[in-house]
Amino acid sequence: MEDARGEPPQLDRLTADTSLVTLSIGGNDIGFSEIVERCVVKLPWSSACRAQDTDIRTRMAALPTSLRSALDGIAQRAPYARVLVLGYPRPFPVAPQRSVDNIGAADQGFLNGVVHDLDNTIYLAARDADRRLVAARKPGSVEFVDTYQAFTGHELGTGQPYLNALDLSVSEFVATRSFHPNPLGYQRFGELTNRQIQAGPGRQIYQWRQ
């Protein structure tokens, strides 16, 4: 089965020889791209962006189950791997001052809060997955990489953002690349990932083979 871009599913690429897995997960599950799109495609004075809150909370409540399934599936296919689960960066400044791509300051703060809650949900899922490995005395680890503050000073609306700005597409209207990391953003992610690799999981890890 292929993924949405026509690529083979990444889970199928994992084997018992895999020693390191890095991933971002959760944003698609809550439909973050669609959430942002509704915050863009609205009248400037509309409350349509924040009106999504109830639906978002419903999807967020279901997220731990899908995260557990995904992380357990990775552990089964790559039992000796360190699994680094990256969170999502805060997309807008802490105290937004002006509209960005038709997203007003209040809506920017709302979206920052959604990302914060999403990261906390992912963190708890990663922590629980790692605790299950420890309890079962299994090799490998699951480690959360906190990236919420990673783009501080480089959020959307700043002079040098680490996220792509709004990009309109005929086929998608709001193009998929919109509000995703640009090359500088991915470079920053790489730095944080390397830092976590060097720091280790903060506990003894069992990776020998019997």
Per residue, what are the HEC states of 62-96? HHHHHHHHHHHHHHHHCCCCEEEEECCCCCCCCCC
Q: What percent of the chain has pLDDT over 70?
A: 87
Q: Is residue 5 part of a domain?
A: no
pLDDT band at 171 (very low <50, low <70, confident <90, very high): low
Q: Are strands 141-145 and 82-86 parallel, antiparallel or unpaired?
A: parallel
Dump pLDDT digits (tens) for 130-165: 999 999 999 999 999 999 999 999 999 999 999 998
> Which of 32, 29, 27 has the alpha carbon at shortest distance from 86?
27
Domain assignment present for 3: no
Say which DSSP state 114 is in.
Answer: H
The CATH number for 64's domain is 3.40.50.1110
Give how far the C-alpha of residue 2 lies from the chain's centroid of Cα atoms, to the nearest Å.
21
Tell me, yes or no, whether 139 lies in a domain.
yes
The radius of gyration of the chain's CA atoms, rounded to the nearest angstrom, is: 18
pTM of the model: 0.89
Q: How far, in Å, CA of 7 to CA of 41, rounded?
A: 30
| SS3 (DSSP) at 47 | coil
CA atoms within 13 A on the CB side of 51: 7
Average pLDDT (101-120) is: 95
Residue 205 lies in a domain: no
Count structural domains, the chain.
Answer: 1
- Asked whether residue 207 is assigned to any structural domain, the reply reads no
SS3 111: helix
Tell me if 185 is assigned to some domain: yes
Given a cut of 90, is residue 178 above it in pLDDT?
A: no
Q: Please state the rounded mean pLDDT for residues 89-111.
A: 93
Percent of the chain, pLDDT > 90? 71
Q: Does the structure show a pLDDT above 50 at 2?
A: no
Checking if the pLDDT of 3 tops 60, the result is no
- Residue 2 belongs to a domain: no
- Report if residue 209 sits inside a domain: no
| 209 has pLDDT over 60 | no
Which strands make up the sheet holding 141-145, listed edge to edge?
Answer: 20-24, 82-86, 141-145
pLDDT tops 80 at residue 173: no
Q: Which domain holds residue 67?
A: 10-199
pLDDT of 175: 61
User: Between 168 and 57, whose confidence is greater?
Assistant: 57
Least confident of 5-9, 35-39, 142-146, 181-185: 5-9
